């Protein structure tokens, strides 16, 4: 596995690979890799000649009050894991190279960035869309792979790709979960033992809503109530929001149907976790 820090070197190599007729699959990450990330890399390997993964903890997607400094970093462990997952090129640019002095340009996907998580994380999705566009421009992939776990992020990136005529296919892969259903996340490392047990409530509550839907319940309110009451029985998990929305997330569904998305965010102690299911 080749490790590239330099933006120009990454860009030139991508151009050369394209010139040779190789297809490039790309998996952007913030590192502290877990099986969720690795599944994207393994999948990219099956569908592309060359797999590029990036590790970049992107400062512009963290709000001032958030955990940018504390965000888990493990470059050595990540290198081993990425190599094991079949990554050919690991791109690890420096913050000062991505955002040099005088940097001023940001991408805003209007409307979609200010709902759900965007309400509590102002500026977050502006940072996400900006870094993703920059990385796509540098890595020049034919196909980029993202996880369903960050559902709003996918909707925003797909919208950006359409709106800006990006020449890349956006692929979405299922959420990889721990045995008790908790969606894998780099932030799960923050949880102590009790919090880790409580955290299973996120997926459990979604499952309860799904089971109601499968029994024929179509009312958004009833499904919301099921999630709220699941959280009521768990004192250390605080539900931040539950949204039952159209797959494009811009509108709340009046009645639930196949394809409707249920997205939730919750705080377990100081840790903010998200999850979602597509009915
Ligand atoms: P992150 O490092 O958290 O920015 O995530 C990098 C990519 O991995 C994003 O496309 C995420 O949606 C994806 N990802 C994170 N956790 C999971 C998971 N548990 N299952 C599948 N994909 C994931």
pLDDT greater than 90 at residue 254: no
Single out the residue in 173, 204, 220 at which a domain terminates: 173
Per the structure, the complete domain to which residue 58 belongs is given by 2-173
Distance 29 CA to ligand 1 centre (A): 7
Q: Do 134 and 211 share a domain, yes or no? A: no
Which listed residue (11, 19, 34, 37) is catalytic? 37
- pLDDT category, 52, cuts 50, 70, 90? very high
* Alpha carbon distances (Å) from 208 to 177, 205, 226: 17, 5, 7
Q: Do 198 and 98 share a domain, yes or no? A: no
Cβ 149 under 6 angstroms from ligand 1: yes
What is the domain-level CATH number for residue 248? 3.30.1300.10
Largest CA distance in the chain: 58
Let me know: does 275 contact 206? Beta carbons within 8 Å. Answer: yes
Q: Do 140 and 234 share a domain, yes or no? A: no
Based on the structure, what is the number of domains in the chain? 2
Task: List, for residues 169-187, the tens digit of each pLDDT value.
Answer: 999 999 999 999 999 999 9
CA angle 138, 139, 140 (to 5 degrees): 95
Cβ 48 under 6 angstroms from ligand 1: no
Distance 150 CA to ligand 1 centre (A): 7
Task: List, for residues 192-202, the tens digit of each pLDDT value.
Answer: 999 999 999 99
Q: Do 160 and 82 share a domain, yes or no? A: yes
- Strand ranges in the chain using DSSP code E only, listed in sequence order: 2-4, 24-29, 50-55, 89-91, 143-147, 169-173, 237-245, 261-268, 271-278
Cβ 132 under 6 angstroms from ligand 1: no
Single out the residue in 145, 173, 201 at which a domain terminates: 173
Q: Do 32 and 62 share a domain, yes or no? A: yes
Q: Do 144 and 264 share a domain, yes or no? A: no
* Alpha carbon distances (Å) from 274 to 101, 140, 175, 215, 237: 33, 30, 11, 25, 12
Tell me whether residue 43 is one of the annotated catalytic residues.
no
Q: Let me know if residue 181 belongs to a domain.
A: no
Distance 102 CA to ligand 1 centre (A): 30
- Mean pLDDT of the 60-70 span: 95
pLDDT greater than 90 at residue 222: yes
Cβ 253 under 6 angstroms from ligand 1: no
């Amino acid at each position: 596995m080749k490790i590239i820090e330099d933006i120009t070197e990454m860009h030139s190599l991508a151009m050369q690979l394209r010139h040779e007729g190789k297809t490039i699959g790309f998996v952007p990450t913030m590192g502290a890799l877990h099986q969720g990330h690795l599944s994207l890399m393994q999948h990219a390997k099956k569908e592309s000649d060359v797999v590029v993964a990036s590790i970049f903890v992107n400062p512009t997607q963290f709000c001032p009050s958030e955990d940018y400094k504390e965000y888990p970093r493990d470059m050595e462990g990540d290198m081993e894991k990425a190599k094991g997952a079949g990554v050919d090129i690991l791109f690890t640019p420096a913050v000062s190279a991505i955002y040099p002095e005088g940097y001023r340009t940001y991408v805003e996907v209007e409307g979609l960035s200010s709902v759900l998580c965007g309400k509590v994380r102002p500026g977050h999705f502006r940072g996400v869309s900006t870094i993703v566009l920059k990385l796509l421009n540098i890595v020049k992939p034919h196909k980029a792979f993202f996880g369903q776990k960050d559902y709003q992020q996918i909707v925003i990136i797909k919208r950006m790709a359409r709106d800006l005529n990006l020449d890349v296919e956006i692929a979405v892969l299922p959420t990889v979960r721990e045995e008790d259903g908790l969606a894998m996340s780099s932030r799960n490392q923050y949880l102590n033992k009790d919090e880790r047990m409580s955290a299973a409530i996120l997926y459990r509550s979604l499952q309860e809503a799904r089971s109601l839907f499968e029994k024929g319940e179509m009312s958004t309110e009833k499904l919301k109530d099921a999630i709220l009451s699941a959280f009521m029985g768990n004192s250390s998990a605080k539900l931040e929001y539950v949204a039952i929305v159209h797959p494009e997330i811009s509108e709340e569904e009046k009645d639930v149907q196949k394809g409707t998305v249920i997205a939730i965010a919750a705080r377990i102690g100081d840790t903010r976790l998200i999850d979602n299911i597509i009915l």
